[in-house]
Amino acid sequence: MSPSQPATDDAADLPRHLLGLEGVSAGTINRVLEEAQGFRALLEKADKKTDALKGRTIINLFFEASTRTRTSFELAGKRLSADVINISASASSLQKGETWLDTVRTLEAMTPDALVIRHPDSGAPHLAARALDSHCAVINGGDGPHEHPTQALLDVLTIQHHKGPIDGLKVAIVGDAAHSRVARSQIHALHTLGAAEIRLVGPKTLMPAEAAPALGVQVFHNADAGLKGVDVIIMLRMQMERIRGAAVPSQREYFRLYGLDPARVERAADDVLVMHPGPMNRGVEIASEVADGPYSVILPQVTNGLAIRMAVLNLLARQRQSAGPA
């Protein structure tokens, strides 16, 4: 997960941080998925709490607005009986002139066991991880357009739950891949777990440069062609606030060309899975009939997100113990 600490296939040898999924081994990913399976079962019980992280502290440090990821991490931490603190950039001392890295160090001095960081710039969790001296784990909660590893892990868990092994599946990711940290993490995870084909579908203005060689994907500019025969369709949010200038002429034209409506779903395999990391723009990238339709697993994704974040926190927030007496 951290480039300086390459993951190994020995599942017991977990990396200290979860900074991204590029280069993370199948062994490590499977370890997280197995752990999450266990928590999924727990979430179906009346008493959803364990004391696995009792006495541990998790800080959610969000330098960018987020509702679902922050809530998911918060609830995951609480279900594990950790003390959870949420800090959003507007409430921090950033406005008093402190650098965000000083905020990280200040919080580190309060001896948390895990720091979940979301930041609008790529590489921020890496920089934070390098700045830390303690046992504290850094978990990337989404950094710029770089990675969003827990989102991709929950997507993989969802796909596995409905389709079995990822090995051999064809997956289409539709939309604003250029600005999507979700897409990058998904692509890394799906490749590592043996997906047969990953397609990126969208106009050239929303494609990352050299996408095919850089990410090992097939690029389609025609949605009907790109969706033909795929087992999974992942719709990306049109991140309107990220689009600079003139990437897409109008929402209307975008939906006509790339929006997922029932006719386009028909192009895919019979038992296709429709996914969306949320939050959705109904009528912009996905029709309500599809979002709420029989192939959609958009809400189960959210539930799985809780299980994944419990798994990640449970595996990474207990390193003080494994590193020796506190």
With tokens 């998904």, the residue in question is 186
| 123 vs 300, beta carbon nearer another protein | 123
| 58 vs 117, beta carbon nearer another protein | 117
| 4 vs 205, beta carbon nearer another protein | 4
HEC profile for 119-142? ECCCCHHHHHHHHCCCCCEEEEEE
Binding site for another protein (CB under 8 A): 3-4, 22, 99, 101, 119, 121-124, 126-127, 131, 143-147, 181, 184, 208-211, 213-215, 244
Please provide the size of the chain in residues.
326
Taking the complex as a whole, the smallest distance from the CB of residue 87 to another protein amounts, in Å, to 18
Taking the complex as a whole, the smallest distance from the CB of residue 93 to another protein amounts, in Å, to 17
What are the Cα distances from residue 206, in Å, to 121, 219, 239, 243, 280?
A: 18, 11, 10, 9, 18
Taking the complex as a whole, the smallest distance from the CB of residue 198 to another protein amounts, in Å, to 14
| 6 vs 38, beta carbon nearer another protein | 6
| 135 vs 146, beta carbon nearer another protein | 146
Taking the complex as a whole, the smallest distance from the CB of residue 83 to another protein amounts, in Å, to 28
> What is the DSSP secondary-structure string of 255-319?
HHHH-B-HHHHTTS-TT-EEE--S---BTTTB-HHHHTSTTB-HHHHHHHHHHHHHHHHHHHTTH
Taking the complex as a whole, the smallest distance from the CB of residue 101 to another protein amounts, in Å, to 7
Taking the complex as a whole, the smallest distance from the CB of residue 70 to another protein amounts, in Å, to 20
CB atoms within 10 A of CB 247: 18
**Nearest residue to 243 via CA among 315, 308, 179:** 179
| 117 vs 166, beta carbon nearer another protein | 117
Q: How far apart are CA 176 and CA 308, in angstroms?
A: 24
